[in-house]
Homo-oligomer: A and B are copies of this chain.
């Protein structure tokens, strides 16, 4: 006899109580402080009581339709299966949930056509804003006029076009690795630089090479090799670097996966990590410490980037002025860079 009226709606509650839906709406939306002048304290109590007895949940479609706010944000990443990205997303999700937002997250595989298509898709879903984690340096996909009305921020990667972004200070991270290698006496070093369109790779590379140049040891161009951000890419690039007669004594791989690929290549060539070859990665993923030869890596605050990106987006949505943020990296030295041994033979 109680309720066989399908999902519980504002009207359902109002009718049961002999009130008008607007009254119910105001009570349920107003501050729970009794001082909301929407209704008498007594009425408000009855409304709230019935609402949660019935398990009332406002229909978000109706609300969004009316208010033109969806509390939805779109999140774009190259691929969530990469641990770095997944960890950033955990931060995004945590903060978004805390703020009452839901996220549409999607993989674009760094393909411009897919990027555009997915931007169109989330825009079609009427998101309030987007968090873009797959930006290319040229910012091409972000020039899409469809994006005009919708605020967005970047995360992990920045562009040259000055959009607000939350990133790690990648340049500084690369610099730290260079200093570490210099301290160890390495004069012939190479970089596995990742994809040329991603600021993460290029900035880390720049930071590293700048420091070596300052030390009077500029890197020859063929010792900066671009490759995919995965183990296979790292493997190939490292194999090329290491198979020549003139081989570097240390390699900086701009992310841990490429570093692991480098390990594979070194293994194939019979090179011992930390002895014949020093190696450093970037991101200090949980694997780094567990590898048979633990990996020296730059720790970057990934989840924190995600959280900050959400807050930054929220400020943009609110129309407040915003500025990009950079988080500090930290070098974690382990055996792969061979810190325990002396300078390499000349």
A69 CB to nearest B CB, Å: 10
Nearest to A124 among chain B residues (CB) is: B57
Interface residue range, chain A: 35 or more
Within 8 A of B (CB), among A292-324: 292-294
- Chain B residues with CB below 8 A from A64, complex form: 61
Asked if A103 and B104 sit within 8 Å, CB to CB, the answer is yes
A284 CB to nearest B CB, Å: 13
Contacts A292-B267, A292-B292 given; does A81 touch B70 at CB 8 Å:
no
Task: Flag the segment in A182-190, A203-211, A256-264 that touches B.
Answer: A256-264
Asked if B231 and A287 sit within 8 Å, CB to CB, the answer is yes
- Number of copies of this chain in the oligomer? 2
A145 CB to nearest B CB, Å: 9
A328 touches B (CB below 8 Å): no
Within 8 A of B (CB), among A246-280: 257, 260-261, 263-264, 267, 273
Task: Flag the segment in A41-49, A84-92, A133-141, A215-223 that touches B.
Answer: A84-92
A2 touches B (CB below 8 Å): no
Docked complex Cα distance between A103 and B124 (Å): 14
- Chain B residues with CB below 8 A from A293, complex form: 292
Write the residues of chain A forming the contact surface with B, with a CB cutoff of 8 angstroms: 55, 57, 59-62, 64-65, 70, 79-83, 86-87, 89-90, 93, 97, 102-107, 121, 123-126, 146, 230-232, 235, 257, 260-261, 263-264, 267, 273, 286-287, 289-294
- Could you jot down 15 A-B contacts, CB within 8 Å? A60-B125, A61-B62, A61-B65, A61-B70, A81-B83, A81-B86, A83-B83, A93-B106, A104-B104, A105-B105, A260-B290, A260-B291, A263-B292, A291-B292, A292-B292
